[in-house]
Amino acid sequence: MCAAKILFELTGSIAAWKACAVISRLVQDGHEVQTIATAAALQFIGPATLEGLTGRRVRSDMWDRGTAMDHINLVKWADVVVVCPATANTINKLAAGLADDLVGALFLAHDWKKPFLLAPAMNPAMWAHPATRAGVEKLRGWGVKILPVARGRLACGDEGEGRMIEPEEILAAIRESLAPSAVGRVTPRGASVDVAGSVTRPTAKPHRRVLVTAGGTEEPIDGVRTLTNFSTGRTGALLAEHLRAWGCDVTLLRAHRATPPPAGVRGETFVTFADLRGALERLLGGEHFDAVVHAAAVSDYAVAGLRVNGQPLPPGAGKLGTEQKIAIELAPNPKLVDHLRAWSRNPELRVIAFKLTREADAAAARAAVEKLFAHSRADAVVHNDLAAVDAATGRFPATLWRADGTSTALESREALAHAIATLIADNERGGAGAPPSTLTRERRSQEGPAPAGPCAPDEARDPRAEHSPNH
């Protein structure tokens, strides 16, 4: 990625400390960053902090000597504009076209051939207020890319939707906006800009429908015992929430004990491998889905039979006594991910698979990912290693591999959700599942401690499951 000129505008929210983490990483990446801070933002973050991070003087007052034309010149200078954090006040002022401060004046002078990103941060009641909702939709219609908000506990003590997403996710959105393929990417909604700068309005895109699987299967041993794993389905539920926030119509197919679907997401449940298989066949064959995110922890084995004191018994019935000698026969389950496209009524179905390893070195992890690509023909594979997941700190490193062999390293569930949402939003499917024989790393490093996301880490699970442990 080439170095870019980034105009970074901060408004008055306690989430401004997260914005400093984003600015630091952008500068480390080699970009030029010019900060704009409202008077309210400077109540949370001092100018010395921003100047120390960027090496540039903070701009704040439109009437400072020698800055009268900043609202024009800075727009011409910048390759991308980011408002982070964006308060309810800022969103509604921008939507009203007010230019009584530098942030508002810069917005009215914005060149819409350049990306304009906005990361909201506010109390849940303010985020849900009709004025804010209307302002968000108006800005989105003008071409502003509104980043999703997260759900969780806010500084005021309230729980809900409205907190700013994590720095990793904001970084990913900025990097995406700077991608060479995104020429003139931000325009009034429904329009596109070609290399020459001409604006065209393509036909409206169909509403994307996504099926997410989550949680672990249970294979009955007797009437009260099962063979299962520790998966809670939290990662799948978080993915469903982010995809919904990005405008997708999401169905969460989850284990019956797994994390329930968030608001606005349709939910269905399964217990056994057979239940999950039947639900996938029914949903994919009966409805149109554009993508499947197959994050469920599917057991590799089913209980094929029991021998109790040497006598055969069918599994799943009664209750085995504690004094009996029991032998359990296991039989391998087929890989459901291999059949998703065959079951789907949509021949262009995009498939995102998950792969778990345990204490695997780089070569072993590479081989496991290549093998999954080869038999599943997936469009992308999310790989994580059980040994690297830290329930105490919330560390959840994962790598999103694409079929062309490139990859993105991610350090949190939130960053993973953003990466998958971006992948699904892409119109063009590459060649389905070409195994990444060279596996070149297009690493977007997510180093450094990240604040805890809206979901707590899951426990490690039985490595016999088919997919990743913390779903």
Which of the residues are catalytic? 156
The DSSP 8-state label assigned to residue 337 in this structure reads G
Residue 129 identity (one-letter amino acid): H
Query: Within 10 Å of residue 203's Cβ, how many Cβ atoms?
Result: 6
- 456 touches 234 (CB < 8 A): yes
Residue 295 to residues 8, 91, 129, 416: CA-CA distances in angstroms? Answer: 35, 35, 34, 12
Which residues have a Cβ under 8 Å from the Cβ of 66 and sit 6 or more positions away? none
Peptide bond into 85 cis (omega under 30): yes
- 6 touches 75 (CB < 8 A): no
- 28 touches 72 (CB < 8 A): no
Of 146, 428, 413, residue with least CA distance to 290: 428
- 79 touches 4 (CB < 8 A): yes
Starting at the edge strand found earlier in the chain, the sheet holding 350-357 runs 266-270, 249-255, 209-214, 291-294, 350-357, 380-385, 398-402, 407-410
- 139 touches 95 (CB < 8 A): yes
Distance, in Å, from the CA atom of 384 to the CA atom of 377, rounded to the nearest integer, reads 19
Distance of CA 349 to the CA centre of its chain: 19
Distance, in Å, from the CA atom of 390 to the CA atom of 87, rounded to the nearest integer, reads 33
